[in-house]
Amino acid sequence: MRMNVLENDIVSPEVYAQPELLHARYAHYRQHMPVAWVDMPGYRPFWALTRHADIMDVERQNSRFINEPRITIVPKVVEEQTIAAMGKRTAAVRTLLDMDDPDHRQYRNVTQSWFLGPGVASFQDRVDAICKTWVDRMQERGNQCDFATEIANFVPLAVIMSILGLPESETGYVLRSTQQIFAPNDPDLQDQSNDHGQSAFVDFMAYLGRLVEQRRRTPTPDLASVIANGMVNAAPMALLETLSYLMVTATAGHETTASALAGGLLVMLQQPGALQKLQSDPGLWERSAAEEIVRWTTPIRHMMRTATEDCVLRGQNIRAGDSLALMYLSANRDEEVFPDPFVFDVERRNARQIGFGFGAHFCLGRLLALSEIRTFFKELLGRVEHIELDGEPRFAQSNFVGTIKTLPIRYRLRA
């Protein structure tokens, strides 16, 4: 039987700015209604999957549960605006996140060899240099800073801009655009347009259009040129797909890792035994700690799938056309999979965390993200003499990406 669960809101962006409340509600779902029909005012209804096993089951069946036409939880009014502008419910992009096979596989191949092959390895020296530069800047700031806004946001952004070949002078613009697109409900991260990030999206796509024109006219040895000149089925990618590819690479490629860096430092300060272990045994970063940070932070909170046929999940009748939200953050705290899931265990040898997704849509940027996390924290913790919170952290109002807006810290670093 379908269940209405208005009293346990796990949809509203405001709830995601309160981690303790959110996790308590997720735990309630996992225990009492792991496959739940959610019908919240202002949103189209969907099934919420909060258990690891159910999400894995869906992810393994990418022909039965497809990405189109709904990949994230957004208000009905936004969907209606999109339909009015585009004639369809899906957004004005066509990224790997929107695609299903065979298109998904073909477009993924455009950059897969870079992200999963020699590309990341060849860029490691640059990652090393960027991470050292930003730890140096922490030291230059004296003994305190807002780690989220002054450091974590910029480390992965510097990496992705260097990979794409974008000038450092445009860093601020790319950061603002990303925050407005991914946290459209947070008043602190929006401009005055109050249009759910749509103005920022349109402007950023125009920016990327100029970049594509430049790279097609004069290719350079960077990832932007690889994408701008990408071929699918022996033909150049269409402009919409090219712009969409660059958009998700330029934005998701740093926002999620920034979330992991800020969230990773926060939990180390809240559970200092973990920090001490990492300082005494830096090898933990290669063995387990970076994956544990991804499990703990789960930067992408959810993705959605649509059932293509009637089926049954954990006793619930799912109908063809029903939407299913895969609640990754809940799954990464699933008591059935992770012993003591609310303990940040840097020695946790459990490869089943799904912060990068699973199956056909497994995150292409996984190796790069893990490299940035390991490299930055090895550099920072190798120089830390003292570090502590210097105020309350604040989380963004976003049900999609787990952005930390502010993380004030006080510290003392060695040169």
pLDDT value of residue 190:
55
- Across residues 349-361, what is the average pLDDT? 87
Q: What is the mean pLDDT of residues 282-294?
A: 96
**What is residue 404's DSSP assignment?**
E
Higher confidence at residue 360 or residue 265?
265
Section 258-281 average pLDDT:
95
- CA separation for the pair 228, 243 (Å, rounded): 8
Whether omega before 236 lies within 30 degrees of 0, making that bond cis, reads: no
- Matching residue, tokens 């992705």: 160
Domain boundaries, given as residue ranges, for the chain: 13-413
- How far apart CA 390 and CA 146 sit, in angstroms, is 9
* Pairwise pLDDT comparison (97 vs 210), residue with the higher score: 210
Q: Is the peptide bond before 272 cis (omega within 30 degrees of 0)?
A: no
What pLDDT sits at residue 195? 55
Q: Which segment of 117-126, 293-302, 400-409 scores lowest on mean pLDDT?
A: 117-126
Mean pLDDT across the chain = 89
Find, among 182, 174, 187, 211, the residue nearest to 198 by Cα: 182
Q: Which of 57-71, 194-208, 243-257, 380-394 shows the lowest per-residue confidence on average (mean pLDDT)?
A: 194-208
* Cβ-based neighbours of 164, under 8 Å, separated by 6 or more: 222, 223, 224, 246, 249, 250
- What CA–CA distances, in Å, run from 214 to 165, 219, 229, 299, 409? 12, 8, 11, 32, 41
Contacts of residue 357, defined as CB under 8 A and 6 or more positions apart, other chains included, come to 59, 300, 303, 328, 363
- Rounded distance between C-alpha atoms, residue 15 and residue 239, angstroms: 37
Mean pLDDT in residue range 241-253 = 86
Torsion sign over Cα 261, 263, 266, 270: negative
Mean pLDDT of 5-26: 88
- Which pLDDT score is estimated for 237? 92
Q: How confident is the model at residue 230 (pLDDT cuts 50, 70, 90)?
A: very high
Mean of the pLDDT values across residues 363-380? 94
Per-residue confidence (pLDDT) for residue 353, from 0 to 100? 95
Mean pLDDT of 271-294: 95
CATH fold, domain 13-413, is: Cytochrome p450 (1.10.630)
Q: What integer pLDDT is reported at residue 1 of this predicted model?
A: 41
Task: Find the radius of gyration of the CA atoms of the chain.
Answer: 21
Residue 3, pLDDT > 50, answer: no
Give the pLDDT confidence of 293-336 residue by residue, as tens digits: 999 999 999 999 999 999 999 999 999 999 999 999 999 999 99
The answer to whether 211 and 246 are in contact (CB under 8 A) is yes
- Three-state secondary structure call for residue 134: helix
The whole-number pLDDT of residue 57 equals 96
Q: What is the pLDDT at residue 91?
A: 53
Q: What is the pLDDT of residue 329?
A: 98
369-333-68-225 Cα dihedral, nearest 10 degrees = 0
105, 152, 170, 201: which is closest to 299 by C-alpha?
Answer: 152
38 beta partners: 46
**Token pair for 283:** 């090898």
181-207 tens-digit pLDDT: 766 566 665 555 555 567 788 888 899
Give the model's confidence band at 5: pLDDT under 50 very low, under 70 low, under 90 confident, else very high: very low
pLDDT-based confidence at residue 4 (cuts at 50, 70, 90): very low
Give 65: exposed, middle or buried? Use CB within 10 Å, 0-12, 13-18, 19+: buried
Instruction: Answer whether 132's CB lies under 8 Å from 379's CB.
Output: yes
Give the pLDDT confidence score for residue 183 in this predicted structure: 61
Where do the DSSP E strands lie in 72-215?
144-146
